[in-house]
């Protein structure tokens, strides 16, 4: 994420991305039970007396209470989309009684395994995580990803969906992006140097540039790399034998630049950038930037995107901040279509830098050592900037699958279908990781059975001093006889973020987890064996509350 600093009139932004290479291995799509069908889609055969010549699309839509996706005239068939919460059985029974209908069938899926041939797929742990090490050498947890591989068997994205990457621009000639760039046909087919579509920007073929807000141009070329990195995660072209693949293989990427080469931008530019995306038909607005205080003008233009039915995806921020207590903008504006995203590592824990908030931050997504496109090739960067595009990509898939959904409905779906993960229960509203497959199928996942909340428990009473001392180095040892795994419950933890730490070691002295900042009402990572050593260390600056451990879960 890029962060605003200073006054709203001239908001400076600082790039959050840090470099390193991420490594994971590709895997094949799991076999799925029962005959698959595209969620919510049905083929409806019309009776001869309901020929298309006698039936308008509006009449059919009202009669079937459904979105008309396609009309196959010579076969007298209509392909419809129904809300996926309606069961297959009830849809078929209801529509079969309609006087226009001869029969109804699910839109079954016939497929080969749709894993793409992009050579760097194996390094995209956020898309497919097999538990291999990331670029920092840290072993991950298999399945901690956005579940894109299974989703691709249902939907890979559509050129009907426009996603605006509001950032430092987009490298629109890059081999992995050029085929998925939005094209403003009026300008592309118009006269050079003329505002052919009268939208206030000349020659805006792939988007617009608002860095010089009083003199916008039609060239959103990325001169920094951040926007291209985000665009690659959202919708790098898939199955083309080139580089990486985005969460959505197909989309129309609108480059909307208001951040300069040094990562700075203004409120004026931000407002114009969002306004442009609204006017030019973006369904999803991806925003990996933030900062400053509350401004009504920015809130107003985001509310316009809500009125247009768009989704506004926002990075939660990189300050290790509780956004419930200390708002971060634009992620915490009270606008219904804003979907705020925290960053996780490849084990599923909230990244040490990521903002969080069980009410104001909605979902988590991969944001540590994420490989994508830059202006100098492919690099792995970290930040909530890298997490938000994963969710924007999921939104592209969802909008492609169910184009009748508005932004608020997409937000609600992505939150409700997130995969629960024990380390996220107190960190984000969904208590889990955004999941592309669940979003497309509207599948509400069951609880995380590896969550220590479901294990046996015993009371424990270990606390630091309140507040703890400067230059502290204090140890405690906890043993649960007969346990093979244990997890500590911190009823309260408040440490100076990034300077004071609680470190957890197993019986062999291996570091399992290093905690800092606020971790109230949360379980630790799972410690193998029956013993854990807890070590509190601090510097000599600010001493905060410390911690209380009140119980131990074990199995």
pTM above threshold 0.85: no
184-233 residue pLDDT tens:
999 999 999 999 999 999 999 999 998 886 789 999 999 999 999 999 99
Given a contact cutoff of 8 angstroms between Cβ atoms, the answer to whether 550 and 461 are in contact is yes
Note whether 294 and 236 are same-domain residues: yes
Backbone angles phi, psi at 276, to 5 degrees: -60, -45
Given a contact cutoff of 8 angstroms between Cβ atoms, the answer to whether 72 and 79 are in contact is yes
pLDDT value of residue 76: 78
CA distance 297 to 304: 11
CA distance 300 to 271: 9
334-357 residue pLDDT tens:
999 999 999 998 888 898 889 999
Strand partners, 463: 548
Active-site residue, from 226, 229, 362, 390: 226
Phi-psi region of 186 (alpha: psi -120 to 50; beta: other; left: phi over 0): alpha
Domain ranges, residue 535: 455-554
- Give 296-342 as a DSSP string: HHHHHHHHHHHHTT-EEEEE--SS--BTTTS--TTTT-S-TTEEEEE
Note whether 435 and 368 are same-domain residues: yes
Q: Which residues contact 109 (CB under 8 A, 6 or more apart)?
A: 36, 37, 38, 153, 154
Note whether 222 and 364 are same-domain residues: yes
Query: Which CATH number does the domain housing residue 78 bear?
Result: 3.30.70.80
- pLDDT-derived band at 51 (thresholds 50, 70, 90) equals low
Domain count, the chain: 3
Note whether 390 and 317 are same-domain residues: yes
Average pLDDT over residues 117-135: 69
Judge whether 167 counts as a catalytic residue: yes
Note whether 284 and 431 are same-domain residues: yes
Q: Which two tokens stand for residue 496?
A: 């100076």
Note whether 427 and 466 are same-domain residues: no
Active-site residue, from 135, 385, 426, 487: 385
Closest among 121, 221, 226 to 167, alpha carbons compared: 226
Q: Which two tokens stand for residue 532?
A: 């854990």
Given a contact cutoff of 8 angstroms between Cβ atoms, the answer to whether 252 and 170 are in contact is no
Given a contact cutoff of 8 angstroms between Cβ atoms, the answer to whether 296 and 266 are in contact is no
pLDDT value of residue 230: 96
Domain boundary among 54, 81, 108: 108
Q: Is residue 114 part of a domain?
A: no
- pLDDT-derived band at 8 (thresholds 50, 70, 90) equals very low
292-301 residue pLDDT tens:
777 877 888 8
Note whether 149 and 296 are same-domain residues: yes
Note whether 374 and 461 are same-domain residues: no
Peptide bond connecting 330 to the previous residue in cis, omega within 30 degrees of 0: yes
The answer on pLDDT for 171 being more than 50 is yes
Judge whether 456 counts as a catalytic residue: no
Greater confidence (467 vs 7) lies with 467
Q: Is residue 227 part of a domain?
A: yes
Q: Which two tokens stand for residue 272?
A: 């114009």
CA distance 83 to 438: 14
Given a contact cutoff of 8 angstroms between Cβ atoms, the answer to whether 417 and 444 are in contact is yes
Note whether 154 and 298 are same-domain residues: yes
CA distance 249 to 115: 11
pLDDT value of residue 106: 81
User: What DSSP state is assigned to residue 283?
Assistant: S
Judge whether 63 counts as a catalytic residue: no
Greater confidence (310 vs 122) lies with 310
- pLDDT-derived band at 119 (thresholds 50, 70, 90) equals low
- pLDDT-derived band at 510 (thresholds 50, 70, 90) equals very high
Active-site residue, from 134, 153, 167, 448: 167
- pLDDT-derived band at 507 (thresholds 50, 70, 90) equals very high
């Amino acid at each position: 994420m890029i962060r605003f600093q200073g006054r709203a009139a001239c908001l400076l932004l600082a790039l959050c991305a840090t470099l390193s290479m991420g490594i994971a291995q590709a895997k094949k799509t799991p076999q799925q039970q029962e005959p698959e069908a595209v969620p919510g889609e049905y083929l409806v055969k019309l009776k001869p007396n309901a020929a298309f010549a006698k039936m308008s699309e509006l009449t059919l839509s009202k009669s079937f209470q459904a979105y008309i996706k396609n009309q196959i005239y010579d076969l007298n068939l209509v392909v419809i989309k129904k809300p996926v919460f309606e069961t297959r059985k009830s849809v078929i029974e209801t529509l079969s009684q309609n006087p226009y209908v001869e029969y109804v069938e699910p839109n079954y899926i016939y497929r080969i395994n749709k894993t793409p041939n992009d050579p760097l797929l194996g390094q995209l742990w956020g898309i497919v995580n097999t538990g291999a090490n990331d670029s920092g050498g840290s072993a991950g947890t298999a399945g901690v990803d956005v579940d894109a591989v299974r989703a691709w068997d249902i939907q890979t994205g559509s050129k009907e969906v426009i996603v605006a990457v509001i950032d430092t621009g987009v490298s629109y000639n890059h081999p992995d992006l050029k085929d998925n760039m939005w094209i403003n046909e009026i300008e592309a087919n118009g006269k050079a140097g003329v505002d052919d579509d009268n939208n206030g920007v000349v020659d805006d073929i792939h988007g617009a540039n608002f860095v010089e807000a009083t003199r916008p141009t039609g060239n959103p070329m990325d001169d920094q790399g951040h926007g291209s990195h985000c665009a690659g995660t959202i919708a790098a072209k898939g199955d083309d034998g080139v580089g990486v693949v985005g969460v959505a293989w197909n989309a129309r990427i609108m480059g909307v630049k208001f951040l300069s080469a040094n990562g700075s931008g203004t409120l004026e530019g931000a407002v114009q950038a969002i306004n442009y995306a609204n006017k030019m038909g973006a369904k999803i607005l991806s925003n990996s930037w933030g900062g400053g205080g509350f401004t009504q003008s920015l809130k107003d233009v985001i509310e316009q995107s809500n009125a247009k039915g768009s989704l506004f995806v926002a990075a939660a921020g990189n300050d290790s901040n509780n956004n419930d207590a200390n708002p971060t903008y634009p992620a915490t504006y009270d606008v219904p279509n804003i979907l705020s995203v925290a960053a996780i590592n490849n084990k599923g824990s909230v990244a040490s830098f990521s903002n969080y908030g069980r009410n104001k931050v909605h979902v988590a997504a991969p944001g540590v050592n994420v490989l994508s496109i830059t202006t100098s090739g492919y690099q792995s960067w970290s930040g909530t900037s890298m997490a938000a595009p994963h969710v924007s990509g999921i939104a592209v898939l969802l909008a492609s699958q169910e184009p009748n959904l508005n932004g608020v409905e997409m937000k609600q779906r992505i939150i409700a279908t997130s995969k629960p993960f024990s380390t996220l229960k107190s960190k984000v509203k969904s208590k889990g990781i955004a999941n592309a497959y669940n979003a497309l199928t509207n599948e509400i996942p069951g609880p995380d059975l590896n969550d220590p909340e479901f294990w046996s428990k015993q009371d424990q009473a270990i606390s630091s001093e309140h507040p703890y001392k400067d230059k502290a180095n204090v140890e405690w040892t906890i043993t649960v006889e007969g346990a093979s795994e244990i997890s500590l419950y911190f009823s309260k933890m408040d440490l100076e973020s990034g300077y004071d730490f609680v470190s957890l070691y197993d019986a062999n002295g291996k570091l399992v987890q290093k905690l800092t900042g606020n971790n109230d009402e949360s379980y630790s990572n799972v410690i193998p064996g029956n013993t854990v050593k807890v070590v509190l260390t601090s510097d000599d600056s600010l001493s905060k509350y410390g911690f209380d451990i009140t119980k131990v879960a074990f199995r």
